[in-house]
Structure 1
């Protein structure tokens, strides 16, 4: 099958990070230099906290880690990632000053902190962070005033970018990228932001300088047109998106999609036909869906995946006579159950739910949305595992076309997807030539080699572009 490539001009702006940080619960699983997940990492012999792929990564991190290393030893333990990130930012300011650095359009001092917009709970958390920071900050380092420290925490709070691992499937850290903080939000944007650690060796060799993040065009952009990104996932009705943006980023979204409530009808769709459900029935099913999602999240966090499947099946039984195929509550359940069933190697049932999920996503998301591409990839792999080679190859090709735009050809996900595309294309030709022999060879291959399964389902919801301390 020919990949349906879209003619989108290559446009990628790379921004040097001010600083970035691995999340504290993943410090022993993720390299603190290249953010690659490794089974065996080398621990810093001094602080016993930072972990690296090898000495190359450790040497590349030393400029940013040496102050942190001695501070952790003095403090006795590592604080949370927000405090460590603030400390790294201020150690860099100590070295280079707080003004514009090479390649930067804006300084850390000039970024919005929105501290004046904080509610009482946020102010309480800010005071706690500042106190913890002062305890952690070494007395021999440059001393900063309370107001400036609060400014740095405010910047992290509303300008910190989520960083993912090399496969882009899990949020593993947070970074501050000053130039990209200038890009405004739009619910239907013309750009996307991707953390691309690309070729591992290339990334490691440049880490003595700076980590980078990419702003990529999703389509043709006219001269003078503002570049925009979406700070949050689009898969929410306009009212909920506006509430989230106001609460998290302190502004009222006035984009066309919010003002005209574009696609809200699809996201709240109900079954059409002679026996259209009543409003009371719709409200009852939506509330049941919300309650079930809370139970599912608890079961996922505890790793009780068979309970997750049971809850999803019960919820789908309630939803299917009432909710339309693009209803977001139905799609959320389909996404969870397809992922968990695939992990449990119940591929045929997983494939059915995954197909319904991507059909719904396709009608809602921008055609070059990264979330759509990732969902399409997951659905394609699930169909492949289920032996549905034609559908699987088609989905993998569509995912590849999307991710070429959103992630670029050098991203590890895109490279992995290209390998899958070639593999499934070869298998599809074999299937078309002799279906019986294809299944016999597939069966023999699976007996000799354990089938590759999806990674363990994450208890986290889909990650937004910016990270927000909860």
Structure 2
């Protein structure tokens, strides 16, 4: 007999224990030894919504992107793949549907998610299953820590919520609404589409909210159609705390600490921050015959790199890819004699250059840049990091397109090994590689037909836990 997802979730929660983590409040630790790639636990969302910007292009039930969706005939806001998805979502959507019709329009994603959370809490009392380790009332909202500008936005959302919430339903106080909106603000996790390549919505996962941050975490999160899996990156001893990265490690410790303070309201004191681990590599300069470039030259190239990255982003947003290539080439030529292969600004330019040049089918040049980028990543990232695996896969495909089949094959094998380590137990474990195979075969088909392919970037490197409402 097949095991239901709820049963699987309950079984997996036997691998963890809640404990008081010193200086962090509550946390989760391993209740037994965990091996690399093992599922620590899986969890469906307590509530989830599609982003405002994608509400017409993504199914509101399974979060798949589709060319043609079927709109709810009553509220005319929610979109679904087909009747099956619509029926599956009706229990969650019916109160939302009535509220949208009476309000005349759908509110923003903050308010929609807060309403879905409160409707779920009214139904289940804040605990959806026996495997849920905490209630939403017990999660931190950090409303008291918000800066003035964020508080203004919060008050607007509270006002819009009160207009949206049905008059016939149980009424909530301003404080209780503010708490839920605050919880969403600092505990919302982004949901990816079916390929794992784009964030399309946000959900609340109570158990996952208990996992604390570390800049060099021992776990990673895989997002699958509204569900998450927490997986170990290496062997974790019984009693060891479980951690994930809230922000990308590819920032110097000072910048990571600043981001964590601004977005999650805590001071990171992990070993990598306190010891500034690998900061020297991320800001390293090139040494030739024991000599370093002068401080004046380094400053000049650094400032040029920052300006170039701004120009690259602007041109990329506008779809002016030949301008992107021009700026990248000029910047890389200037960086070459000065910045080391692990320098952050050098890696960021290499990443964009390899991606855009692949899109324009400059495969030989793209392969060179992709190889250099992966070499830099390998010296900075955890060996089982998903970002490293995705970058290596992309570099392997680019080398193959450039006619460098042996190098390309080797890179694809390395990427497969990284990704398989993370997903190695059941048929579910193959999805990550199949998502990469989709990228692989799409790029291959475009190359063989000598046609431009659609731009498909790597997942945005913002860390696992992402504030959906911050632009």
Which residue is 2:466 aligned to?
Answer: 467
In the other structure, the counterpart of 2:407 is: 391
Asked whether the equivalents of residues 44 and 227 of structure 2 are also in contact (C-alpha less than 8 Å), the reply is yes
C-alpha deviation, 1:419, in angstroms: 8.3
Aligned with 2:201: secondary structure? strand
**Counterpart check, 1:264 vs 2:279:** yes
Report the secondary structure of 1:105's partner residue.
coil
1:374 aligns with 2:402: no
Show the counterpart of 1:436. Answer: none
Contact 1:194–1:406 (8 Å) recurs in 2: no
Q: Does 1:335 align with 2:354?
A: no
Residue 297 of structure 2 corresponds to residue 278 of structure 1: no
Residue 310 of structure 1 aligns to a residue whose secondary structure is helix
Summarize the alignment of residues 62-461 of structure 1 with structure 2, pairs less than 5 Å apart: 62-99=90-127, 101-197=129-225, 211-274=226-289, 275-407=291-423, 410=428, 412-417=431-436, 450=449, 455-457=454-456, 461=460
Identify the residue that residue 426 of structure 1 maps to in structure 2.
none
Report the alpha carbon displacement of residue 68 of structure 1 after superposing the two structures with TM.
1.4
1:159 Cα deviation from its structure 2 partner? 0.4
Contact 2:351 2:373 in 1 (8 A): yes
| Gap change, CA 1:400 and 1:420, over 3 Å in 2 | farther
Offset, 1:12: 3.4
Contact 2:38 2:423 in 1 (8 A): no
Structure 1 residue 74 displacement after superposition? 2.1
CA contact (8 A) 1:312 1:333 kept: yes
Q: Within 2, Cα distance between the matches of 1:223 and 1:32? A: 39
Aligned to 2:48: 20
- Deviations 1:255-283 (Å, cap 9, x if unpaired)? 11111111111101101024521112212
Preserved contact between residue 99 and residue 109 of structure 1 (Cα < 8 Å): no
Q: Give the conservation status (yes or no) of the 8 Å contact 1:342–1:453.
A: no
User: How far apart, in 2, do the equivalents of 1:359 and 1:453 lie?
Assistant: 27
Q: 1:176 to 1:371 in 2, by over 3 A?
A: same
Superposition deviation, residue 101 in structure 1: 3.9
Contact 2:70 2:79 (8 Å CA) reproduced: yes
- What secondary structure is seen at the aligned counterpart in 2 of 1:384? helix
Give 3-state SS (helix, strand or coil) of 1:364's partner: coil
Distance 2:249 2:452 in 1: 28
* Runs (5+) with no aligned partner, structure 2: 1-34
Is residue 110–residue 181 contact of structure 2 (8 Å, CA) maintained in 1?
yes
Q: Distance in 2 between matches of 1:446 and 1:186?
A: 40
Q: Which residue of 2 aligns with 1:205?
A: none
Change (3 A) 1:100 1:464: same
Q: TM-score, normalised by structure 1?
A: 0.86
Provide the alpha-carbon RMSD of the alignment. 2.3
CA contact (8 A) 2:446 2:452 kept: no
Q: Tell me if the contact between 2:37 and 2:423 (Cα under 8 Å) persists in the aligned partners.
A: no
CA distance in 1, matches of 2:323, 2:351: 16
How many residues in Structure 1 have an aligned counterpart in Structure 2?
A: 429
- Please report how far the alpha carbon of residue 75 of structure 1 lies from its aligned counterpart in structure 2 after TM superposition: 2.1
CA distance in 2: counterparts of 1:407 and 1:344, whole angstroms: 33
Shift of 1:306: 1.5
Structure 1 residues 69 and 407 mapped into 2: Cα distance closer, same or farther (>3 Å)? farther
For 2:370 and 2:140, the matched residues in 1 are separated by 40
Whether the 8 Å contact between 1:297 and 1:459 is mirrored in structure 2 is no
Following the alignment from structure 2 to structure 1, what is the Cα–Cα distance between the partners of residues 415 and 357?
Answer: 21
Q: Residue 372 of structure 1: SS of its match in structure 2? A: helix
Measured after TM superposition, the shift of residue 416 of structure 1 is 4.3
Partner Cα separation in structure 2 for residue 333 and residue 252 of structure 1: 30
Q: Is the 8 A contact 1:104 1:178 kept in 2?
A: yes
**1:170-226 CA deviation, whole Å, 9 max, x = no partner?**
1111111000100010111110111123xxxxxxxxxxxxx4211000010101111
Q: Which residue in the other structure is 1:42 paired with?
A: 70
Shift of 1:415: 2.5
Distance 1:305 1:460, change over 3 A: farther
The answer for the alignment partner of 1:53 in structure 2 is 81
Structure 1 residues not aligned, in runs of 5+: 1-6, 198-210, 424-441
1:237 Cα deviation after fit = 0.6
Partner SS for 2:234: coil
SS in 1 for 2:230: strand
Cα distance in 2, alignment partners of residues 107 and 452 from structure 1: 52
